[in-house]
Amino acid sequence: MLFQPKATTSREQMIVLAYRIADRYAPMVVRNEYELLEAVTRPDKTLIIRDTRAKRIYDRTVKIVRELIKPGMSEFEREKAIHDYIMLNTRYDYENWLNGTIPDDSYSAYGVFFKGTAVCQGYTYAAHLMLWLAGIESHIVSGKAGGNDHVWNKVKIGSEYYNLDVTWDDPVPDEPGRVMYGYFNITDEELARDHAWDRSKWPAATAKEYDYFEYMGLAVHSREELRERIANAIASRDTSGIVFKAVYTDDYRKVMEDIHSSIASASGVISYEYRYVTGQCVFELYLT
Phi–psi pair at 107, nearest 5 degrees? -90, 0
Instruction: Return the closest-CA partner of residue 131 out of 86, 187, 191.
Output: 86
What pLDDT is stored for residue 18 in this prediction? 41
- Tell whether the model's pLDDT for residue 26 goes beyond 90: no
How far is 129 from 240, CA to CA, in rounded Å? 35
Indicate where the chain has its CATH 3.10.620.30 domain(s). 75-214
C-alpha torsion angle, residues 206, 226, 176, 34 (rounded to 10) = 0
Q: Where are the alpha helices (DSSP H) in 90-156?
A: 94-99, 109-110, 120-133
The 10s digit of each residue's pLDDT in 47-66 is 999 999 999 999 999 999 99
What pLDDT is stored for residue 69 in this prediction? 98
What pLDDT is stored for residue 250 in this prediction? 92
CATH number of the domain at 75-214, please?
3.10.620.30
The 10s digit of each residue's pLDDT in 90-128 is 999 999 999 999 999 999 999 999 999 999 999 999 999
- Tell whether the model's pLDDT for residue 17 goes beyond 50: no
Indicate where the chain has its CATH 3.30.1370 domain(s). 217-287
What pLDDT is stored for residue 21 in this prediction? 42
SS3 149: strand
- Tell whether the model's pLDDT for residue 23 goes beyond 70: no
How far is 65 from 152, CA to CA, in rounded Å? 20
What pLDDT is stored for residue 100 in this prediction? 95
Burial of 43 (0-12, 13-18, 19+ CB in 10 A): exposed
Give just the sign of the alpha carbon dihedral 136, 284, 97, 87.
negative
- Tell whether the model's pLDDT for residue 194 goes beyond 90: yes
**pLDDT confidence tier of residue 280, bands split at 50, 70 and 90:** very high
Beta-sheet strands, E only, within 210-249: 219-220, 242-246
Residue 88 near residue 174 (C-beta atoms within 8 A): no
Which overall architecture, per CATH, does domain 217-287 show? 2-Layer Sandwich (3.30)
- Tell whether the model's pLDDT for residue 81 goes beyond 90: yes
The 10s digit of each residue's pLDDT in 213-264 is 999 999 999 999 999 999 998 888 888 889 999 999 999 999 999 999 988 8
How far is 196 from 147, CA to CA, in rounded Å? 9
Average pLDDT, the chain: 91
- Tell whether the model's pLDDT for residue 73 goes beyond 70: yes
What pLDDT is stored for residue 264 in this prediction? 84
How far is 179 from 170, CA to CA, in rounded Å? 7
How far is 68 from 34, CA to CA, in rounded Å? 24
SS3 274: strand
- Tell whether the model's pLDDT for residue 269 goes beyond 70: no
Whole-model pTM? 0.89
